[in-house]
Structure 1
Amino acid sequence: MDSTIRLITKATTWQVLGLFSMMLIGYLVTGSVAAGGGIALAGAITGFVAYFIHELIWSKIAWGRVQNGVSDPKAL
């Protein structure tokens, strides 16, 4: 199970990458750096929250986990 700080770090680095790609897409669509940045920021905040919640939920699900090369029999 990942620690909370690891989850936050993973979500942050993912969103930084997404922020830059969305800013570029927003700029290409609108022709405006400000509009592209606004679109990217809204997307980044929404995506960060959604990703973090998604990871928290999956960290509590044992299905498909492998420990020491052996699947968890309770996960089946």
Structure 2
Amino acid sequence: MIAQMLFKNKEKSTYKADSSGEKPIRSVAKALSWRVVGTLDTLAVSFVLAKDIKIAASIASIDFITKLILYFFHERVWNAIKWGK
């Protein structure tokens, strides 16, 4: 689903903006940018604790993928909530 949104042609997109005017692709872009920041942090902390760049990179890679997916769905749920808008 996420990959489809990334590669779908903008004109042919079947995804509509939600009530706040935000399209799912914006949530994907936000999730990616935040995960880059978060993964760099995880890499640094893992390296300090493990003292091994291979272990730190493995931890950071798994962290990047799982939290990217979690953040996307978290963002979409919050976009559906009317509270505070």
User: Normalized against structure 2, the TM-score is what?
Assistant: 0.72
Name the Cα RMSD after superposition.
0.8
Equivalent residue, structure 1, for 2:61 = 41
Shift in Å, 1:55: 0.5
Matched, 1:51 2:51: no
Aligned-pair identity (%): 29
- Structure with the bigger RCO (C-alpha within 8 Å, sep 6+) is 2
Matched, 1:11 2:11: no
User: Normalized against structure 1, the TM-score is what?
Assistant: 0.80
Matched, 1:30 2:41: no
Q: Could you tell me how far apart the structure 1 residues matched to 2:69 and 2:25 are? A: 15
Query: Based on CA coordinates, which of the two structures has the bigger radius of gyration?
Result: 1
Aligned residues: 65
List structure 1 runs of 4+ shifted beyond 3 angstroms.
none
Gaps of at least 5 residues in structure 2 are: 1-19
Structure showing the higher strand proportion among its residues: 1
